[in-house]
Amino acid sequence: MTLSNGFIRRYGVIFGLAGIIIFFAIESPNYFFTPSNFILISKQSSINILLALGEMFVILTAGIDLSVGAIAGLVGAVAAGTIVATGNLFLGLIAGIGIGIAFGLINGVIVAFAKVPAFIATLATMSAITGITLIYTQGEPIWNLPSSFDFIGQGNLADIPFSIILMALAFVAAWIVLEKTKYGRHIYAVGGNIKASRAAGIKISAVLVSVYAISGLLSAIGGIVLASRLGTAEPTAGSGYELDAIAAVVLGGTSLFGGEGWVVGTIIGGYIIAVLNNGMTIMNISAYYQEVVKGLVILLAVMLTSFGKKYWNE
């Protein structure tokens, strides 16, 4: 039996992460390869992974969500603003998460019913949401958040950072939904062949709208963790996060054409990005070069996957 391209997609990325870890471990055994640094890496990757998990639901349906960073930024601001205005933490969280889901639903409705290509639809909402955040905050950061809010991004539960627990919960939930439920199967099917899915009686619009809503929800959670970690809601805090999220999903082996992907891969993709950032910082590589290296690694990983596929298929 020959190795399938599913195998390459699935396990290639694990070897990639292992290789990067070994490289940094050799370069910096005392700082990089320590338990406390791994907790730090997990903490650093948690926001991106939360966003990437949502992004993955969308990409599995052959869509894309460029608005995740913008939603995270707006949610952070709305949650912080509400908490400061009302003094009620839960009200703030609910408002933030509600806003995230609402914009996710708007994305979904535009894609599913107005039939606007996902790239354009979410590019437009990304721009609009960024603007709304700036209007809402008047371009100023929101300060004076209560310490109870700090717990989400900075606190520990039984010595484990709470943001890592949130990330782990989101991972488990995503894994169960995608691997074990009827709805998860429908997501893969719609991404794989939308016409055959419709002919099989699947409600296409419901699937499409819901994946964008899930993306909105996870972006919202990511945005709250981000604001809490910073201790302030910066109006532009979320910008650029969409690209890291997409990169994590693609590194993880999810096909941009939809229908193929593995939740574990997305987590590993997120970790590859975080390990690179962390390791290069420890090695004192300038932030400018870091971006270049990150880009090259993503390119290399995707190229290896496609070469590997070709090789094994022949």
Partner 1 sequence: MEILRVENIKKSFSGVSVLKNINLSIKSGELHAIVGENGAGKSTLMKIIAGELEPDSGKIYLNGKEVQFHSPLDAINSGIALIHQEFSLVPQLTVYENIFLGREISKSFLGIDFIDRKAMKKEAQNVLKTFGIENIPVNSKIKDLSVANKQLTEIAKALSTNSKILIMDEPTAALTLRETEKLFSILTNLKSNGVTIIFISHRLEEIFQIADSVTILRNGELIATKQINEVSMEEIVSMMIGKSMSNRFPPKPSKKIGDKFFEVRNISSDAFKGINFSLRRGEILGIAGLVGCGNTQVGESIYGLRKFDGEIYFEGKKINISKPTDAIENGIFLVPEDRHDLGLVLQLSVKENHSLPNLDLFSKLGFVSTSTEKKSVRDTIAYLNTKVSSINQIVENLSGGNQQKVVLGKWLVRSPKVLILDEPTRGIDVGAKFEIYKFIYEQSSKGVGIILISSELAEVLNLSDRILVMSEGRITGELDPQNATQEDILRLAVKGKES
What residues line the site for partner 1 (CB under 8 A)?
A: 1-2, 4, 6, 180-183, 185-186, 188-189, 192-193, 195-203, 259-260, 314
Shortest distance (Å) from residue 108 CB to partner 1: 19
Give the separation between CA 289 and CA 194, rounded to whole angstroms: 42
Between 159 and 314, whose beta carbon lies closer to partner 1? Answer: 314
Which one, 137 or 197, has the nearer CB to partner 1?
A: 197
Q: Which amino acid is residue 300, in one-letter code?
A: L
DSSP-assigned beta bridge partners for residue 142: 233
Report the residue number, 92 or 258, with the smaller CB distance to partner 1.
258
Cα separation, 273 vs 197, whole angstroms? 34
Min dist. Cβ of residue 199 to partner 1 (A): 5
CA angle 277, 44, 40 (to 5 degrees): 95
Closest CB to partner 1 among 128 and 206?
A: 206
Strands (E), 3-161: 156-157, 160-161
Cβ closest to partner 1, residue 31 vs residue 188: 188
Q: How far is the CB of 14 from partner 1 (least distance, A)?
A: 20
- Name beta bridge partners: 233: 142
Residue where the block lists tokens 């039996």: 1
Buried b (16+ CB within 10 A) or exposed e, 88-121: ebeebbebbbbbbbebbbbbbbbbbeeebebeeb
Q: Which of 25, 11, 60 is nearest to 250 (CA)?
A: 60
**DSSP label at residue 3:** P
Nearer to partner 1, 203 or 310 (CB): 203
Smallest gap from Cβ 194 to partner 1, in A, equals 9
At its nearest, how many Å lie between partner 1 and the CB of residue 197?
7
What crossing angle do the helices spanning 35-60 and 204-230 adopt, rounded to 10°?
150
Nearest approach, Cβ of 62 to partner 1 (angstroms)? 11
Q: For residue 256, what is the DSSP state? A: T
Of the pair 28, 193, the CB lying nearest partner 1 is at: 193
CA separation for the pair 67, 123 (Å, rounded):
7
Q: How far is the CB of 248 from partner 1 (least distance, A)?
A: 22
